[in-house]
Amino acid sequence: MIPTEVHEETIEAAPEDVWGFMVDPGALSAWFGADAWLEPERGGSVRFRFADGVERRGSVEDVTPFRSLSWRWREHRGAGFGSTIGEVSRVTIELHRVPSGTLVRITERPAIALTMSAR
């Protein structure tokens, strides 16, 4: 099972400006260091292709403009008979206004942890 990861960073910009970077494929690609595509609407597709060839694909689950965005995805490696598919995880990006700008919190957790905590 993949571990839960949390990354936080304060950006000297308003949440509305940070949101613009989150939903722009070019800016998102630069931010994550991957070729990224995301449709910022419930059910929209998510696809990140990293430099090592690993691709993660999924769909958007929740969108609250200027506040949060979450999606489920899984890793896809290789092609054809040699391909592997990783575990499903959920990524949530939260934006919190702070005096110096916006606190960005990115959390990725295994989907199994989400299923178990809902019980």
Owning domain of residue 27:
5-117
User: Over the stretch 22-52, which tens digit does the pLDDT of each residue have?
Assistant: 899 899 899 888 999 999 999 999 999 999 8
Res. 117: pLDDT tops 90: no
Which CB contacts under 8 angstroms, 24+ apart, belong to 59-62? 61/90, 62/92
Percent share of the chain, pLDDT over 90: 67
**Residue 116 confidence (pLDDT):** 43
- Domain of 34, CATH number, reads 3.30.530.20
Q: Tokens for 106? A: 């990115």
Secondary structure in 3-state letters for 57-117: EEEEEEEECCCEEEEEEEEEECCHHHCEEEEEEEEEEEEEEECCEEEEEEEEEEHHHHHHH
Round to whole Å and give the CA distance between 91 and 36: 14
Q: Count structural domains, the chain.
A: 1
Contact 42, 63 (CB under 8 A): yes
User: Over the stretch 82-108, which tens digit does the pLDDT of each residue have?
Assistant: 677 788 999 999 999 999 999 999 999
